[in-house]
Structure formats: structure tokens, C-alpha cells
Amino acid sequence: MALLIHSKVIQHRILQVSPIRRRELVRPFHKSFVCQSVSVKDDSYQYIQKSKVPSMHFQKSLLRLPIPELEKTCTRYLRSQKAILSPEEYQVTERAVEQFKTGPGLDLQVQLKQQDKANKHTSYISGPWFDMYLRDRVPVVLNYNPFLAFLPEEKPGYSDPVIRASNILVSSMRFMHTLRDNVLEPVVYHLNPAKTDNQRFRNIVRWMPSSIASYAAYAQKVFPLDMSQFGNLFNSTRIPELGKDSLKCNPDARHMLMMKNGHFYVFDIFDKDGNILSPSHVHACVSYIANSQTPPPSHSLAIMSSENRDTWAKCRAELIAAGNGEALDAIDTAAFNIVLDDHDVGMDPEKMYRTFLYGNGKNRWFDKSFSILLTGDGQCALNFEHAWGDGVAVMSYFNEVAKEISEKPFIHPDSKPANIDASQYVRRLEFNLTPSLKQAIENAVQTYETNTSALQVDVLESDVFGKNSCKKHKVSPDAMMQLGFQVAYYLQHGTTVATYESCSTSAFKHGRTETVRPATLETLAFSRAVASSQPPSNAELKKLIMECSKVHGNLTKEAAMGQGFDRHLFGLRKIAESAGGPMPELYTDPAYAKINHNILSTSTLPSTAISFGGFAPVVRDGFGVGYQIQDDRLGIVLSSYPPHRDGVGFIECAQKAYEIIYNVLNKA
């Protein structure tokens, strides 16, 4: 087959990948266990892997994110709106859309395409999406930063926070070094891994010029993913600035950041030649910090990273003027952050959720690209700032590190830290705080406690059904989870609302995400049917479920191919805003605000390395729905803000909804 396949053929092939399989980018790791012996200078220690195919080999030749046809976007938009609007509201919206697609929308589409053509190095959504994140003035905690919890450590002794933190740090540095030296395996999706996930494929593509390497992969039904965000994974921080924040990254920095009791500690993890220091040296530095008895500061600067962005920007400027610039730079440019908390959480999902989503704001730095959080009993999670990137980079790192610390940790319960004076290597950062800064910190503490105490967390763990049951009945597991949310909300409120599910567009150069809209006419029909006092026959209900699954699958495929309507309308709106003048009626129509006021914000990451994850609602009167479906069970971790929403009631309705779905599918 010719290497230069027409892009529509390639796109068609990506469409054939099932939504669930497409997201499972990393193979499950095994639980076998090997003790590592270390020769520090050897490549076997310095790198977590040494790929024959350079990490960024496919980047130059990735397909560009397509701009959908205006007519199709308008059709998709109306179909989604019809599920959540009254007939009267829909008529108004229908007129606004008709006027848009035959009037101002045509000119905006031309301008968007011209702008895209002039910027072939990126995607039409990348710049505006970064801008959206960085201009928002709300605190990043609760509003943007999610968390992913590692599986509990099962091996005796390895859950000790010092042991676990040291192992995570060593494996993280190996991943980082591998990425920096361009020998990290490129992130790709194999449509048929039995045929292509092998050395033959790698030998073919490694010799292809990077300008056509992706096409060589496409020819073998292998789909490389965009890795442009990997550059901000390490040594990166969001910097508060008035009006719009910035991202700061210094890949030459050699040090690490750790926090305990509201104090910041830094120490080098690479030597002057760029080699990772020994595991015993890392162990000694982590132990020194963990054993520190320094009491918490009376005013912990850390809380400021939880503030309104303009408030924080003004305080940062004052901090620098007071002589704290060097200390702030040490935080900003550190590889990443490890946080040690003293309290235990056990296996209580609510305690873990609250600790990992926000926790003690005086012992966090929410602006860091990501932080690894460890409790006193060794439970562990990753909390990350969202402006710099999405799931592909984070999950690649998370899965590789989780796999290595499970199978081949470098530090063991009987390991001895290096015989060094760690105080000569670890530095505690000091800050000069003016009276006005101390007052700002006190204000931030009060705001933080008010905001976080308002959050409610509820959990559903159910064995009513799982992936196996879905496969048996030939329905999408993700579609059934989403259908459950729709039925639950309908049972609770008697209506359907705007619902958001994120879908990666990383198959394209500088792709970010697209929105799947799970609230459809089909889910509404099923919800109404099961809530009716005279429901239709089981055969009719089953037919409705099958239609829900089919439509959800199509929506997911369209989103992954950049053919959703949300990002396209967003891009067109940004063009209209930049021109000044009155906005098209489509954007001033209350329905546009309604569909973007996502009452149900949902997300899942089907990785075997993740225990669970979570995030807060994106609107005050909404739900944040983190979910997983496994072979024979399903789970939801739900966040809400009472009295705006009743989380307990939603969980009860969700359990009932999944029982209804199961009974319909399994009834003869």
C-alpha cells in the first residue's frame, strides 16, 4: 500500500476503532515483582526504556485537526439542543441557527479556515483553548485541577510514604530523562496489536523521514498521537498574571520540589552531567524531609496558589518586590512536586477524594504542572494543573511510573539511605512576607475553607453489571454508564440537562479535546419510557437501549475525529469576538449559554493503574461525575454543592437506573 494515503482514508480507519479501545493506550501492567540492582551510570538505570523510534518521530507528519463543515455543525448542534430545550425554546434556537449558517456563520467559517491555513504548525483550537484556560480568573483548585489515585500498595512495607515517594521519584526521573533524550516510546494506538506491536513495525517506521512517518504508520493501521504537550509535563508551572496567566518551563533545571507542613524543600536529582543521582541518594533526601520536625509556618505561602488568579498575581508581584524572586523561581522550575501529608485516609473513598482533590491548602502548590500527594499511610495520587495539557501526557507518565513501582521498585523496606549529610543537599526555601502579604494569606485561608467545605462527595460502588454484561448484549459500556446518568437525573428531576463528556482529539497535531454530548433524543426517550407509569414492553425498551448505544458510539467517533460541534462553534465565536461589534444571534440565544452550562460534567480514564479519579462540578448547580466500569462492577464518585444539588439522591437514582438497564437487557 502506498505510504501517502489520502487523509480521508486514514480518518475512516480511525473511525473504525471502538471508543473504549481507542482510549486504552497503555497495556495493563502485571503484578510480578523484581528487585532492581543499580549501576548508576548505566543506561539501564538512566532510562525507563530506550525506544528505537524517537519520541517525536511522528509529530511533524501528524494529520491536522479538521474544521467541520458549517452545515454539519449546525445540524449536530440543533440535535443536541433539542434534547434539553422546550419546544418553544427550540423554535427560537432553530431560527438563530438558520440565520447563522446562511449569514454571519459563512464569513466566520471563511476567516477560521484562512487563519488555520496560515498556521499549519498547529490546530485551529490550540491557541484559543490555551487562552481560555489562562484567562479564566477563578482559582484552579476545584475549578480545573483533577486527581488520579494510584492503586493501593499491596506489597508489605512498600506503602511507607518515604519508600513510596522515593520510588515514584526515581521512576519519574527515569521517565523524564527518557523523554528529554527523545528515546521514550512514541504514544501510538495499534488497531491490531497482535500484528503491529512488534519490532518489525518499529524497524519500518524508524527509517522513514519524520515528514512521512505518520503515513507509514497509518498504512499499517497504527495511529500516532500528538505529543506536543509532553514538553510541559516537567519543570513547568502556571504563573499568575493580571488578566491572563502564563506557562513557565525550564527544561535545564535539575532540582526537585517537595512539601511538608507548609514548607518548600528543593534538592537536585540530576548531577552536573545530567545523570540521575542514585536511588540511595534520592532516598536520603526524601527521608531527611519526611523526618523534619519543623513546625508549620504561621503564614504558609502555599495557600496563595488556591486564590483568584488576579488576587494571586498581585501578591506574587509583591512577593518578588520583597526579594522572594529566587525562591519562587526554584518552585516554578522544579521537575514536579511531591507533597507529604501526615494524616491517614485508609480505604475511605471520601477521605481520599477530599485529600487528593484539595486537601490541606497550606501544604499544596496547585500551580505546578503536577503534584504527587502521599498520605501518612502511603495512599497516593496525582493532582495536575489543566491549562498546559490533557490526558495523553499525564496518562503516559502515570501508567509507566505505576507499572515500574509495582513491578521493579528501586528502593525497598530494608534499603538504607546513602550515608550522606542530607542537610548539605536539601534546602528549605525561606520567604520574606510583608504585613500586607500576611493579611492576603489569612484572607486566602478563609476563602479556601469556605469554598472547600461547601463540597459534598458521594460514592456508588455497584455490582449490578459491568463490561462483561455489556459485551454480552453488544452495547457500549461507556454508553450504558452515560445512559445511567441521564436516567438518574430524569428520575430525580423529571428533565434532561446539558451533559459533558470529554474526548481526546490527540490523533491530530496539537489536538486537545472535543465534547461528546451524552444527553440525546434517544436517552431522553428511554428516560421518559422507564419513568412512565405505563412503560412500554421490555422489547421496546431494549430497542431504545440499543439505539442509545449506537448514537453514543457515533457521537464519540465524531468527536474523536474532530467532528463535534462544540470546538468548532467555540473557534467561530473567538473569530467573531476578535472582530468586535455585535455577536451573531446564535451566541446571544439563551440556549447557547444553557448547553454550555454543564450540569452533568463526566469523565473516565479506563486505566488498570488508576484506583479512581475525581473533580469538582464545573458549575455551582451541577455534578462532577467521575466513573469507571470494570468487568463485573461499576463505580461513581460524585461531587456537588448542597443545597444546589442532592448528591445522595442522585446516587440512589443512579443505582436504580443501572438496575433498570440491567433488567431490560437481561429479561427474556
Active site residues: 386
What is the C-alpha separation between 176 and 335, in angstroms, rounded? Answer: 9
Single-letter residue type at 61: S
Q: Which value, in Å, is the radius of gyration of the alpha carbons in the chain? A: 25
Find the length of the chain.
668
Helical (H) or strand (E) element with 45:
helix 43-46
Q: Is 641 helix (H, G, I), strand (E, B) or coil?
A: coil
Query: What single letter denotes the amino acid at residue 176?
Result: M
User: Residue 169: which of 395, 372, 26 has the closest Cα?
Assistant: 372
Q: Is the peptide bond before 643 cis (omega within 30 degrees of 0)?
A: yes
Q: ω into residue 28 within 30 of 0, thus cis?
A: no
- Alpha-carbon span 337 to 326, nearest angstrom: 17
DSSP, collapsed to helix, strand or coil, labels residue 410 as coil
Residue given cell 440499543 in the structure block: 546
Residue type present at position 7 = S
Say how far apart CA 536 and CA 541 lie, in whole Å.
7
Q: Which residue type, as a one-letter code, is found at position 452?
A: T
Nearest 5°: phi and psi at 147? -135, 155
Is the C-alpha dihedral spanning 267, 271, 275, 280 positive or negative?
A: negative
**Contact by Cβ (8 Å): 84, 519:** yes
In three state form, how does the secondary structure of 330-372 look?
A: HHHHCCCEEEECCCCCCCCHHHHHHHHHCCCHHHCCCCECEEE
Q: N- to C-terminal Cα distance for the chain?
A: 48
Per the CB < 8 A criterion, the answer to whether 228 and 389 are in contact is no
Composition of the chain by helix, strand, coil, percent to 5: 45, 15, 40
Query: What is the sign of the dihedral through the CA atoms of 471, 476, 481 and 484?
Result: negative
Task: Quickly list H helices, 181-308.
Answer: 193-196, 199-206, 213-219, 279-290
Beta strands in 463-580 (DSSP E): 499-504, 513-516
CA separation, residue 83 to residues 99, 166, 514, 587 (Å): 21, 51, 19, 19
